Structure 1
Amino acid sequence: MLGNFSYSNPTKLYFGENSLDNLRTELSGYGKNILLVYGGGSIKKNGIYDKVVEILKACGKEIFEDAGVMPNPTVEKLYEGCRRAKDGNVDLILAVGGGSVCDYAKAVSVSAYCEEDPWEKYYLRMEDVDNKIIPVGCILTMVGTGSEMNGGSVITNHAAKLKIGHVFGDNVFPKFSILNPVFTYTLPKYQMAAGFFDIMSHILEQYFSGTDDNTSDYIMEGLLKSLIHSSKIAVNDPTNYEARSNIMWIATWALNTLVAKGKSTDWMVHMIGQSVGAFTDATHGMTLSAISIPYYEFIMPYGLQKFKRYAINVWNVSPEGKTDEEIAGEGLTRMEAYMKEIGLVMSMKELGVTEDMLDGIAKGSFILEGGYKVLTHGEIVSILKESMR
């Protein structure tokens, strides 16, 4: 492990089939006014909404609703949420949904009492929070983002063609999160598979950085192997509790800051994928899957030994009689086969990307320096062209 770091995670998790029972206990620590945040209404169809509202009413809470949170929450929706939160003088924001709903809730929590434009302050200037923060609790219905146990919040500005994430500090982490794997059963296969790859991408963004013998890398290899195994089961049997519970737990640990410790981390797949989302509004996990193989093929020569290790330790590639390049390449080939097996998008064309968008997508991709190769604008365009195959 290299460098110096501190580690703290204040989010309390309740996990399992009876985890929602703990909501009553948590609600006792907050005031009367609750902003109930959710998406397009699927929680009303599957009964989760009724269960949550019943508990809120039994606890004597006043419910203010903020429905219609979209898969890529927009800045306009953020402004609307801020108005609802302030008008209701809410004491807690309760997010019921997937990562986008949780992300949005955290954005509202820091923005409702912000005296400036929160888009400018938090997403363009990346400033810290210096105003009142409304606490957030999460009830998860989709896995992938890890938003239930981190300070991340991604907001899209379609007018500016920007999709930007801000990773806030411990004070913005959800105070509690409820994780019932059964709540994820009704998710459509496309969204389920996209979430699975978002998990994988989170792990790989942290794994493919650094050259030291890092404990975090060993943890990530175990998480990846468990994810690969369980996701293959889940795509064929979505109500397999063991597989879905394993995946839900992996998603949380993939991005709750633990495995990033001692790592420089990469995040270029996410930077490019988020820019694609700003142009197309495509499903986040699928923007990552479409760019990943071209990106990793491009940077593999610069981090060859880690790609070799990945091939052997995660994909069980036999190294006998092969060069390092052949071993590493076979690992990516097996990864690509797995991605196709679980139904991921492998071409940007399927997401609505056209050749005339590529330069703009590249310009909207923040260039980070934590990976094995710092990309140029032209290199991002070349990778995007490969992703159009």
Structure 2
Amino acid sequence: MLGNFSYSNPTKLYFGEDSLNYLNEELPKYGKNVQLAYGGGSIKKNGIYDKVMEILKANGKNVFEDGGVMPNPTVEKLYEGVKIAREHKVDLILAVGGGSVCDYAKAVSISVHCEEDPWEKYYLRMEDVDNEIIPVGCVLTMVGTGSEMNGGSVITNHETKLKIGHVFGENVFPKFSILNPTFTFTLPKYQMTAGFFDIMSHILEQYFSGEDDSTSDYIMEGLLKSLIHSSRTAIKNPADYEARSNIMWIATWALNTLVAKGKTTDWEVHMIGQSIGAYTNATHGMTLSAVSLPYYRFLLPYGLQKFKRYAVNVWDVNPDGKTDEETAEEGLSCMESYMKELGLVMNIRELGVTEEMLPGIADGTFVMEGGYKVLTHDDIITILKKSM
């Protein structure tokens, strides 16, 4: 294990079919005014909204609705949420939805008492939070981001064509999160599979870094094998509780900071994907799937031994009689077959990207330094072209 680190995760999780009942234990800890953040209204169609509202009312809460949170929350929506929170002096922000709603709730929570423009302070200057934070709780209805147990929050500014994620400290983590796998059953297939790949990408971003014998890598290999198995089951039967519960749990542990310990981590796939999202507003998980294989094939020579290990330990590639390069490339071929099996987007043109956008997407891509190669602008252009 590399370096020195500390570990703390203050988020309390309630998991299982009856987990929503535990909202009754959490709500009395907070004041009367609750800001209820949710997305496009699917929670009203599937009955989750009514269940949550019943519990909120039973606990004597004043509820101020903040609906319409989009899949890629915008800075304009952030300002709208801050206005609601300030006007009603909210004591708790309850996010009911997927990762975007959780991200949004955290962004609002840190911005309500911020005396500056939160976009400038927290997303452009990447400063720490030094003001009061409104507590956040989550009721998860879609898996993928791990936002239910971390400090990450991604906001999009379409005017400047920037989509920026800021990973805040444990003071911004949700105070509690409720994870009922049955709440994910009605998700459309496109969103479900995008979430599956978001989970995989989170793991790979942390896995493809470092050369030491790290316990974190062994954990990630196990998470990946479980994800591959359960996602194949879920594609055939989205209401398979065992598969969906496993996937929900994997998603949380993929990005709740545990497996990053002792790692340098990469995150370049996310940086490229987020820049694509700023231009196209495409579904996050699909921006990742569209660029991952071109990126990893580009990266393979610089991290050959880890790619070989990935092929053998995750995809069960037999290395006998093969060069390290052949073994590693076979692993990526197995990954490609799996991605096509799930029906993931495999090129950025399908997301609306044109040749004319490539320089701007490259300009908007943050360059990370924790992976096997620090990309140049020309490298990013090369990867984008191979992703077309």
User: What is the deviation of 1:377?
Assistant: 0.3
Cα deviation digits, residues 123-160 of structure 1 (max 9, x gap):
00000111110000000000000000000000000000
User: What is the deviation of 1:236?
Assistant: 1.1
CA distance in 2, matches of 1:165, 1:88: 27
Where 1:350 maps in the other structure, the secondary structure is helix
CA distance in 1, matches of 2:260, 2:186: 31
Where 1:28 maps in the other structure, the secondary structure is helix
Report what 1:57 is aligned to.
57
CA distance in 2, matches of 1:42, 1:181: 16
1:234 equivalent in alignment to 2:229: no
Where 2:29 maps in the other structure, the secondary structure is coil
User: What is the deviation of 1:3?
Assistant: 0.5
Report what 1:76 is aligned to.
76
Cα deviation digits, residues 318-363 of structure 1 (max 9, x gap):
0010000000000000000000000100010100000000010000
User: What is the deviation of 1:164?
Assistant: 0.1
CA distance in 2, matches of 1:97, 1:229: 25
Report what 2:111 is aligned to.
111
Report what 2:340 is aligned to.
340
RMSD over aligned CA atoms reads 0.3
1:328 maps to amino acid:
A
Structure-to-structure mapping, 1:148-297, within 5 angstroms: 148-297=148-297
CA distance in 1, matches of 2:144, 2:235: 15
Stretches of structure 1 that go unaligned for 5 or more consecutive residues are: none
CA distance in 1, matches of 2:298, 2:168: 31
2:5 maps to amino acid:
F
Structure-to-structure mapping, 1:306-317, within 5 angstroms: 306-317=306-317
CA distance in 2, matches of 1:113, 1:378: 41
Report what 1:22 is aligned to.
22
Report what 2:85 is aligned to.
85
2:98 maps to amino acid:
G
Report what 2:41 is aligned to.
41
2:385 maps to amino acid:
K
CA distance in 2, matches of 1:309, 1:236: 29
Report what 1:133 is aligned to.
133
2:374 maps to amino acid:
V
Where 1:353 maps in the other structure, the secondary structure is coil
User: What is the deviation of 1:2?
Assistant: 1.2
TM normalised by structure 1 equals 1.00
Cα deviation digits, residues 154-198 of structure 1 (max 9, x gap):
000000000000000010000000000000000000000000000
2:141 maps to amino acid:
T
Report what 1:350 is aligned to.
350
CA distance in 2, matches of 1:230, 1:88: 43
CA distance in 2, matches of 1:247, 1:2: 28
2:283 maps to amino acid:
T
Report what 1:374 is aligned to.
374
CA distance in 2, matches of 1:37, 1:87: 15
Where 1:382 maps in the other structure, the secondary structure is helix
User: What is the deviation of 1:113?
Assistant: 1.0
Where 2:315 maps in the other structure, the secondary structure is coil
CA distance in 1, matches of 2:355, 2:231: 33
Report what 2:303 is aligned to.
303
Cα deviation digits, residues 263-319 of structure 1 (max 9, x gap):
000000000000000000000000000000000000000000000000000000000
2:32 maps to amino acid:
K
1:304 maps to amino acid:
L
Where 1:369 maps in the other structure, the secondary structure is coil
Identity of aligned residues (%): 80
User: What is the deviation of 1:212?
Assistant: 0.2
CA distance in 2, matches of 1:59, 1:373: 53
CA distance in 2, matches of 1:82, 1:312: 49
TM normalised by structure 2 equals 1.00
2:132 maps to amino acid:
K
Cα deviation digits, residues 237-281 of structure 1 (max 9, x gap):
000000000000000000000000000000000000000000000
CA distance in 1, matches of 2:266, 2:349: 25
Report what 2:324 is aligned to.
324
